Structure 1
Amino acid sequence: MSTISTWDELCFQNLSEIDMSLDHVLERIVRFISKDPKGAYQFVIGTDSQVHRGQTKFVTGIVIHRIGRGAWACYRQLAIPRQLNSIREKLTLETSFSQRVAGYFDSKAVSRMEEPLLPYLYQGAMLETFIDIDAGTEPVVNKTAMYVQEMVDRVEAMGMYAPRVKPDACVASSYANRFTKNRMVR
């Protein structure tokens, strides 16, 4: 597995921009929030993966959702040149990649996102932070159910982010998922 050594190597993209550093992503998020500082926001990070022949593709999505009034999002892709052997390994890596990105968006970065909202806190402005875990709690439907608590505990141990699982984990299970379908060629 390739390792990521610096924040600069984490390049994100969306349908209109490519090669965005995490600093650029933070600037885009602050700009998005500043356009409507009276809004309620959810900042969400989530990762999904898809096994392809000879590799596993991981996609980590970052979404700032203005509840009821749009969102700005971006994602990064990473391919590991092997197929994963277990659901637990898949979930562990997905959660680790989300935590890695969340590590950049520490209390200082989240404070920058909150700055435009401060004058409007008593008028409903707010920012919630989440890490979406691509796992569900229904054992009959989800093979991931037996690992949910382990992943939730990992996210809760970070202290700043609330974990969300299926069906609420839409950044992992929907947004990131759509970009995992095509095989990456490296």
Structure 2
Amino acid sequence: MSTISTWDQLCFQNLSEKDLSLDQVLERILRFISKDPSSTYHFVIGTDSQVHRGHTKFVTGIVIHRVGRGAWACYRQLAVPRQLTSIREKLTLETSFSQRVAGYFDAGVVTRMEDLLLPYVYQGAMLETFIDIDAGTEPVVNKTALYVQEMVERVEAMGMYAPRVKPDACVASSYANRFTKNRMLL
């Protein structure tokens, strides 16, 4: 599989590995699925951000969740060298970063995941794909509620990923979120 040269700049990591290319991430995902191809899987991409002094840190998570039976995950960190104060700008960038990564995991790549599950579809094997948006719909609780529809429409326009918002957007609001808190890039 060939990749566009800009994808080489996207290095992911998790607690046990560093400097994973997107090709290596895909390899890990396919290996994880092949260990139990009769399960239901959620493939999720989500980004969160945190403003720190002098920069805003963005973390994009990729998770393959074997529903009820574990997950494999990794994340990427990026610092924008300014403090973003506009909620709309932060949410737009978060969604854009998730979409950029999802662009690598296009229909051909998702088909490779599905092909592992296909022989087991009558035993419950299934793959659902999501982009998590770190926004909620309750205006009293979430300042992001004004922009939810715009971000949902952006993800829906991609055609292949279903958008999820809080409280269901756990990859953005929980997994990626925990890596945004540290001011330093690891």
Unmatched segments (≥5 aa) in structure 1: none
**1:25: which partner in 2?**
25
- How many residues get paired? 182
Q: Read off the aligned partner of 2:10 and give its amino acid letter.
A: L
Return the offset for 1:123: 1.1
**1:78: which partner in 2?**
78
TM-score, normalised via structure 2 length:
0.96
**1:184: which partner in 2?**
184
Find runs of 4+ consecutive structure 1 residues off by over 3 angstroms.
Answer: none
TM-score, normalised via structure 1 length:
0.96
Task: Encode CA deviations 1:40-84: one digit per residue, 9 max, x unaligned.
Answer: 000000000000001000000000000000000000000001001
Rounded to whole Å, the distance in 1 between the matches of 2:113 and 2:74 is 16
**1:64: which partner in 2?**
64
2:169 aligned with 1:169: yes
CA contact (8 A) 2:77 2:185 kept: no
Return the offset for 1:89: 0.2
CA contact (8 A) 1:137 1:145 kept: yes
The 3-state SS of whatever aligns with 2:110 is helix
Unmatched segments (≥5 aa) in structure 2: none
Q: Indicate the larger mover: 5-14 or 55-64.
A: 5-14
Q: Read off the aligned partner of 2:14 and give its amino acid letter.
A: N
**2:43: which partner in 1?**
43
Q: Read off the aligned partner of 2:73 and give its amino acid letter.
A: A
CA contact (8 A) 1:79 1:184 kept: no
RMSD: 1.0
Rounded to whole Å, the distance in 2 between the matches of 1:52 and 1:95 is 20
Change (3 A) 1:19 1:85: same
How do residues 112-151 of structure 1 correspond to structure 2 at under 5 angstroms? Answer: 112-151=112-151
Q: Read off the aligned partner of 2:153 and give its amino acid letter.
A: D
Q: Read off the aligned partner of 1:36 and give its amino acid letter.
A: D
Task: Encode CA deviations 1:66-111: one digit per residue, 9 max, x unaligned.
Answer: 0000000000000001001200000000000000000000001101
